Amino acid sequence: MWKRFRTNIGAMIGVGILLAVILIALCAPLIYPHGPWQMVQRPFLPPMSVDGLPLGTDTLGRNVAAQLAYGAQVSLLVGLVSTIVALLIGVPLGAVAGFYGNWVDEGAMRFTEFFQTIPNFALAIVLVAIFEPSLASITLAIAIVSWPPVARLVRAEVMSVRKREFVDAARLAGLSRPKILMTQVLPNTVSPIIVMASLMVATAILLESSLSFLGLGDPNAMSWGYMIGAARTVIRTSWWLSFFPGIAIVLTVLALNLIGEGLNDALNPHLSRKGRA
């Protein structure tokens, strides 16, 4: 499996970019010990115009490069944690629905369908606006709008796995139903979940940046979306203020998507050449 992943050029490029972003995020406090909010020079300095400020300064004279580095922390953190929370909601719900079927399935799927009908970005906006913007509320809001596809995927996987012969064998061996679900069925659904999770981190990063762009970011955390939102009104004079954070988002999200596709090809080789939507 690792061999197949390693020979996938796109996936390896993705891993390279992602490692670089992680490294920058981790090293941010070392390279820029004063943090992202400190004024360092005159405002609106274009990139490369002053030594030590390769990406210029923003509307308040803050170092854009430092802001980018600290923004990486927020994006990665929110992307990762919100995906984990979404998995914690979606996996149990989908597993129980798919395994027990009948009215449990019916109820769980109606619930999931309801959340899928609601426009998810609008719901995220409403949740963050009502519960005041903070890293916790943003993460939770993203998780709440991201879990339904997980539940559907896990349900479908569990439904197909539970009909397999080894599950019958486990039942004959006298295992209880919850135990069969936990030890026999769920472990066999892990690979599609991993693929979906890597793509979800990418979507979560996009969502977080969109919320921050609208002014719903954590006021104490520098983020890429906030940078673009703050630079929106000065786009005519200072293009670099919105250009670089955007590139950072594109690269990070692209890297995660490439990794997700690579994982998909490696874990589900029989599907690999079909591509996905």
Can you give the binding site for another protein, defined by CB under 8 A?
Answer: 114, 116-123, 125-127, 129-132, 202, 206, 209-210, 213-216, 225, 228, 232, 235-236, 239, 242-243, 245-246, 249-250, 253-254, 257-258, 273-277
* Closer residue to another protein (CB): 184 or 264: 264
* Closer residue to another protein (CB): 54 or 215: 215
The CB-of-92 to another protein minimum distance in angstroms stands at 22
Secondary structure (H, E, C), the chain: CHHHHHCCHHHHHHHHHHHHHHHHHHHHHHHCCCCCCCECCCCCCCCCCCCCCCCCECCCCEEHHHHHHHHHHHHHHHHHHHHHHHHHHHHHHHHHHHHHCHHHHHHHHHHHHHHHHCCHHHHHHHHHHHCCCCHHHHHHHHHHHHHHHHHHHHHHHHHHHCCCHHHHHHHHCCCCHHHHHHHHHHHHHHHHHHHHHHHHHHHHHHHHHHHHHCCCCCCCCCCHHHHHHHHHHHCCCCCHHHHHHHHHHHHHHHHHHHHHHHHHHHHCHHHHHHCCC
**How many CA atoms does the CB half-sphere of 262 hold within 13 Å?**
21
* Closer residue to another protein (CB): 36 or 133: 133
* Closer residue to another protein (CB): 41 or 257: 257
What is the token pair recorded at 60?
Answer: 């308040």
The CB-of-79 to another protein minimum distance in angstroms stands at 13
The CB-of-166 to another protein minimum distance in angstroms stands at 29
The CB-of-275 to another protein minimum distance in angstroms stands at 4
* Closer residue to another protein (CB): 180 or 261: 261
**Residue keyed to tokens 């520098």:** 222
* Closer residue to another protein (CB): 104 or 254: 254
The CB-of-217 to another protein minimum distance in angstroms stands at 12
The CB-of-206 to another protein minimum distance in angstroms stands at 6
The CB-of-170 to another protein minimum distance in angstroms stands at 33
* Closer residue to another protein (CB): 6 or 276: 276
